[in-house]
Chains A and B, each alone.
Chain A
Amino acid sequence: METKRRTFIVYVEDRPGVLNRVASLFRRRGYNIISLNVGRTHEVGVSRLTMVVEADDNTARIMEANLYKLVNVLSVEDITGTPAITIDLALIKARVTPEQRAEAIDLAERFRARVTDVGAETMMFEITGTQEKIMEFAGELKPYQVVEMVQTGTVSMTRGGEGYASQVARNHKPDATAA
């Protein structure tokens, strides 16, 4: 079967070791994670993962079923193909001499990147958008020599409707006991 990039939104209980359980599942079943982003939500005790994986239809369904088997996983949603906002955030530091600054700022503006720091010999840019856009920007910066780059990993949110965390929190209040 044909594999493709898929995005899962996974809501989990916010407690120690949960990320390890998710990662361990993907490792032992041999599933390939392209990107993983984790953070808390507006609901106390609920964390949200955006996972980008490479899988065919059936493997994706089994991944979802296996994620559900983790006791700390509250909900799993395969949003591949659902209209959604999907972005990455990157910080890129490049060697830019004072003479090159104006030109570099022009380049940043073309990509709607922000200049977040200006040093004697370097500039730091903040850019959000798709992977493709970010990599293209990094490519354009190459002549200046990129010295450091970091990305957050993809985050996704479907358009319209209600945030899933709110439903989760309403339906299954995570209990307060530890363990």
Chain B
Amino acid sequence: MSTPASPVGASPTAETTSERTGAQTVWETLMRLGVDVVFGYPGGAIMPTHDALVQYPVRHIRVRHEQGAAHMADGYARASGRVGVAMATSGPGATNLVTGIANAMLDSIPIVCITGQVASPLVGSDAFQEVDITGVTLPITKHNFLVRRVEDIMPTLRKAFYIAGSGRPGPVVVDITKDAQFAKAPFQWSDAPVRLPGYRPDHRPQSPDFARAAKLIEEAERPIIFCGHGVIRANASRQLLEFVEKTDAPVASTLLGLGGFPASHPRALGMMGMHGESWVNSAIQQADLIIALGMRFDDRVTGNLATYARGAKKIHVELDPAEVNKNVPVDLPIIGNVRDILEALTPQLEKRIRKEWNASIDAMRSEADVRDILHIPDAGRLHPAHVIHDLWQITKGQALVVSDVGQHQMWEAQYYKHEYPRKLLTSGGLGTMGFGLPAGLGAKVACPDDEVWVIVGDGGIQMTQAEFQTAKQENLKVNVAIINNGFLGMVRQWQEFFFDRRYVATPISSPDFVKIAEAHGLHGQRVTRREEIAEAVARAREAECTSVIDFRVEAEDSVYPMVPAGANLDEMIRRPPTGGQSQ
């Protein structure tokens, strides 16, 4: 940390009307907006702002690649519910943020990215390290700003934070020219509400909608509730619990909704969609009412739209009107915040018991249970599902888990049972390999008392493993479980199922991850057999630094069930009764 014990010069408590440089204004404003950590990387056009940091007690975590900064800000935001901040220089610094920005956009994560820009007289001249980053990020930000005048820095940052965090959240880029960072202007902090005449993040639902919803729920015999990311974003888990107690309806989760409803609850069904549990997808196809809460009927959730949940009326509770009727036509949209709507709706409902419906789902569940790989002896093999299951048991389901993208991500979603919101962070919409490690570090910064596990494949970790050194330098302790099968496993699985096993470009070699960990000054172990898991996990937890376990798992395990892209939701490829190992 580059934080002096006592900040010299200006501080938020000091005289608020004296002159500040633009660079000082950035920090003055960030501090007043409650920011105490920024993930960044210095460079020419942002140098004045980094230089001014010596005066302010804001923690700056210097990453190894700007993509890491954006993912860390994202992980920080997901874990804390606050706005995460990333900072980079112009040109390549800014373009390196782009994947992380798109990732935050697709998953509605509030981050603010502050980038330096070349001095305003040079803007548009193809100057050294000049990139039109507001142009580049236009379609992948909720909004963005180019700031050329020192006077505009404070009001713009206030707008950026407000836009990022309100309504349906998302990333905002603030690009500040170098001369604006150097220039001086009187600094007068304003608490006045941000004025954005065209921005209306809040929607008040109409009360007749509640009566209609209550009637639909009343009339339904086989209702099913969808718990989406919106439940977590709105902190509506308690309200959802009350709603379920009242309606006795089962709850299916989207990938990003996992943890929004406790997995141990008898009405919790688990994940829906392409790799959803078989009983969940079947229940959706059999339901006569879907109550979708804060989700967007993504193609990975619905399968073939023409046959999707045809027998079900649909109530769609959603903050963003542009998501209503986008993919699936609904009978009753209710636009607004999930928590507000459940608070208004639940009292209007009669308590119901739905014995038959729930019993029929439970029956499908026990039928599927027999095929579960957990009930198949490992016979000396190390199955990824077993690794994740054991990790769940050892950590008592209490860890904050950050997964990367691919097969391990789906096994995590199936076998690590999450009880609480904000304890599973994963890249859902964009599916960004390389997200796991940096997002895990960002989550650790947000929740230093949490036990953080990064679950990542051998492909994903090689995309952003430079951030191991950030963990070392910043003294961040996370545990990293590499599910190492020597393949880009999810693509390999598709090749197996849909491309006649032509394994083109999917076999991938890896460095010795134990040595990699040690070379970074971190703790490294290797596990090749199931009986070694418990001890290795115990040692990892004991280590004071970030700890890496290289799990050498079965090379060709597949994720089951699987709904092929575009197939009917209940036409799943199921695990063969033998357990489904290929060789």
Contact = CB atoms under 8 A, between A and B. Distances in A.
Interface of A: 12-13, 17, 20-21, 24-25, 28, 58, 61-62, 65-66, 68-74, 171-175, 177-179
Given A68-B200, A74-B197, A172-B198, A178 B325 contact: no
Given A61-B325, A179-B156, A24 B139 contact: yes
B325 A71 contact: no
A21 B151 CA distance: 24
Interface of B: 134-135, 138-139, 142-143, 145-149, 151-152, 155-156, 159, 163, 195-200, 320-322, 324-326, 329
Nearest to A66: B322
15 contacts: A12-B198, A13-B197, A17-B134, A21-B138, A58-B329, A68-B321, A71-B142, A71-B143, A71-B196, A73-B198, A74-B198, A177-B152, A177-B155, A178-B152, A179-B147
Contacts of B200: 68
A68 B152 CA distance: 24
Contacts of A173: 197
B195 A175 contact: yes
B152 to A, nearest CB: 5
A73 to B, nearest CB: 5
A172 to B, nearest CB: 3
A61 B326 CA distance: 10
Contact of B148 (A13, A24, A178): A178
Contact of A65 (B142, B156, B321): B321
Contacts of A72: 198
A110 B138 CA distance: 48
Given A21-B138, A24-B139, A28-B139, A179 B197 contact: no
B108 to A, nearest CB: 12
B195 A70 contact: no
B138 A24 contact: yes
A163 to B, nearest CB: 17
A58 B329 CA distance: 9
Contacts of B159: 179
A41 B253 CA distance: 48
B131 to A, nearest CB: 16
Contacts of B325: 58, 61-62
A152 to B, nearest CB: 25
Contacts of A179: 145-147, 152, 155-156, 159
B139 A70 contact: no
A171 B200 CA distance: 13
A66 B134 CA distance: 19
A20 B132 CA distance: 13
Nearest to A11: B198
Nearest to A76: B198
Contacts of B151: 177
B326 A62 contact: yes
Residue picked from B156, B199, B200, B324, most chain A C-beta under 10 Å = B199
A17 B141 CA distance: 14
A175 B197 contact: yes
A71 B326 contact: no
Contact of A13 (B163, B198, B326): B198
A21 B199 CA distance: 14
Nearest to B196: A71
Given A25-B139, A58-B329, A65-B320, 9 more contacts: A13-B198, A20-B138, A28-B139, A68-B200, A70-B198, A174-B197, A177-B151, A177-B155, A178-B149
A9 to B, nearest CB: 15
Nearest to A176: B195
Contacts of A175: 195, 197
A30 B186 CA distance: 46
A62 B195 contact: no
Nearest to B167: A69
A71 B152 contact: no
Contacts of B149: 178
A72 B196 CA distance: 8
Contacts of B320: 65, 69
B382 to A, nearest CB: 44
Given A177-B152, A179-B155, A62 B198 contact: no
Contacts of B155: 177, 179
B120 to A, nearest CB: 12
Contacts of A62: 322, 325-326
Contact of B322 (A28, A65, A172): A65
A46 to B, nearest CB: 9
Nearest to A73: B198
A157 B414 CA distance: 56
Contacts of B197: 13, 74, 171-175
Contacts of A17: 134, 146
Contacts of A70: 143, 198
